[in-house]
Amino acid sequence: MKKKIVSILLSVTMAGMLLAGCGSSAAPQAQAPAEGGDAPAAESAPADAAEADAAADAAADTGAAAGGDNTLTVWAWDQNFNIYSINEAAKIYQRENPDFKLEVEEVSWDDLQTKLGTILGAGNYDQLPDIMLMQDFAFRKYAMQYPDMFTDITNSGIDFSQFAAGKLSASTVDGKNLGIPFDNGAEIACYRSDLLEEAGYTVDDLTNISWTDFNRIGEDVLKKTGYSLFSTQAGSADIIMQMMQSAGASIWNDDGTPNIANNATLKTCMETYKMLFDSGVMATANSWDEYIATFTSGKTLGTINGCWILASVQSAEDQSGKWSMTNMPSLAGVNGATNYSNQGGSSWFITSNCKNVELASDFFAKTFAGSVELYETILPTAGALSTWTPAGDSDVYAQPSEFFGGQAIFKDITDYASKVPQWDMGVYYTEANTALATAVTNVVNGGNIDEELQTAEDTVNFDMGN
């Protein structure tokens, strides 16, 4: 995961020198050839169809040998999660393919979207990497507007039937598999057990409760310790979206138009957000790095986010044994409200510019879609909860976590993930999230909730061209 959804505003650093262009064509391709480069021209035409097929196979092999050096380029974000995971996959693949190399460029999600806007707008597909990570919530819009930027890998040899159906749908369009599912973002709430105990509470007091009760406890904890229970990034509506999904409530009508202005559940989410903000139970941070610092070294004793946040929580090694994990609060008084949601989740994509689709497909088939060992490696360190079902049978998922005081956190997360309500993110998720971020910012500064939701709906309708 993942996640995620999340705008990851980490500094852009190079994990390897990027090979900016993987192919030779500047124009979009419907699908890159499976064997790599263009075939050399034949000196004379084959006498029959059988000879033609043989000549084509030989030419493809020659092109692959001439154009490929077993190196794939990657764009991804988050050194502790996504980049770490794909580098571990490369190590496993290199055992049988010692000449294989990945060259990974760390690109934050915000920067990646900016890059894509420039590249796709100009039609310069040769600037795409071989492999790219993409947030699940954004994929469908890109697939709808730029269908030729992805390689159809339905018949690539990857067994897609082994991925969770709900996750697989995020990267499937018209029955075609365009991506390799990676993490999911099952919602978790992590708290410093030692600081809770100072205020007379345990994590059990924050389990299976409503946001109203959560706020009441949080006010008491804040008074006694000076610590807020959790934080969020200012100017973001992610927690609003998480609350909505926890109740299975959509921000879209059946015809795809926005359902924002008169959405009773969404109004409750906005009221809940303002309550948490006004009480100080929820702190806010101005950047992603500042957000991480609030719970690793600041004055916030917890975080509520997708399970991919574990990598950041566990980066504070000196706090090992002092953390506990549980589910998120639920919306009080809302029909269908649960304590489970999802934030983020991402998938890997082979771009249409990849010069060696066969190599990229084989890499994924033997790692993210074929290696239990990979998930056993990245799960404890990064918290990358697999959506590849064979990995779920590993004993690693049941192992106690020393960092979380012996709690079998991955077993619990798997349980949480199974209880997340189904939710339609919609094609225009990003536009809706942005509009709601503006609305919630205005609300905490004194704006009227009904008026702000109407403005948000009008904004999304405009963005959609309605």
82-122 confidence digits (pLDDT tens): 999 999 999 999 999 999 999 999 999 989 999 999 999 99
Which residue among 377, 396, 415 closes a domain?
396
Q: Is 189 helix (H, G, I), strand (E, B) or coil?
A: strand
Residues 316 and 335 both lie in one domain: yes
Q: Which of 249, 135, 222, 230 is nearest to 188 (CA)?
A: 230
Which residue among 396, 421, 436 closes a domain?
396
* The Cα angle at residue 370 between residues 365 and 376, in degrees rounded to 5: 135
- 248-271 confidence digits (pLDDT tens): 999 999 898 999 999 999 999 999
Q: How far is it, in rounded angstroms, from Cα 436 to Cα 426? A: 15
Q: Quote the percentage of the chain above a pLDDT of 70.
A: 85
- 350-397 confidence digits (pLDDT tens): 999 999 999 999 999 999 999 999 999 998 888 788 888 888 888 888
Q: How far is it, in rounded angstroms, from Cα 87 to Cα 80? A: 11
Residues 374 and 454 both lie in one domain: no
Residue 316 confidence (pLDDT) above 90: yes
Q: How many domains does the chain have?
A: 2
Residue 140 confidence (pLDDT) above 90: no
Q: What is the DSSP string of 282-301?
A: EEEESSHHHHHHHHHTSSB-
Residues 360 and 335 both lie in one domain: no
pLDDT at 323: 98
Token pair 């706020």: residue: 215
Residues 355 and 335 both lie in one domain: no
Residues 241 and 176 both lie in one domain: no
126, 26 contact by CB (below 8 A): yes
Residues 178 and 267 both lie in one domain: no
Residue 190 confidence (pLDDT) above 60: yes
Residues 314 and 370 both lie in one domain: no
Residues 205 and 301 both lie in one domain: yes
Provide the pLDDT confidence category of residue 173 given band limits of 50, 70 and 90.
confident
Residue 37 located in a structural domain: no
* The Cα angle at residue 95 between residues 91 and 101, in degrees rounded to 5: 50
Residues 173 and 214 both lie in one domain: no
71, 4 contact by CB (below 8 A): no
Residue 379 located in a structural domain: yes
Residues 179 and 202 both lie in one domain: no
Q: Quote the percentage of the chain above a pLDDT of 90.
A: 65
Residue 446 located in a structural domain: yes
Residue 143 located in a structural domain: yes
Q: How far is it, in rounded angstroms, from Cα 60 to Cα 426? A: 40
Residue 207 located in a structural domain: yes
pLDDT at 52: 35
9, 289 contact by CB (below 8 A): yes
Q: What is the DSSP string of 217-247?
A: HHHHHHHHHS-BSEEEETT--HHHHHHHHHT
pLDDT at 178: 96
Residue 235 located in a structural domain: yes
Provide the pLDDT confidence category of residue 312 given band limits of 50, 70 and 90.
very high
Residue 15 located in a structural domain: no
Query: Which structural domain range is residue 116 located in?
Result: 49-184+345-396
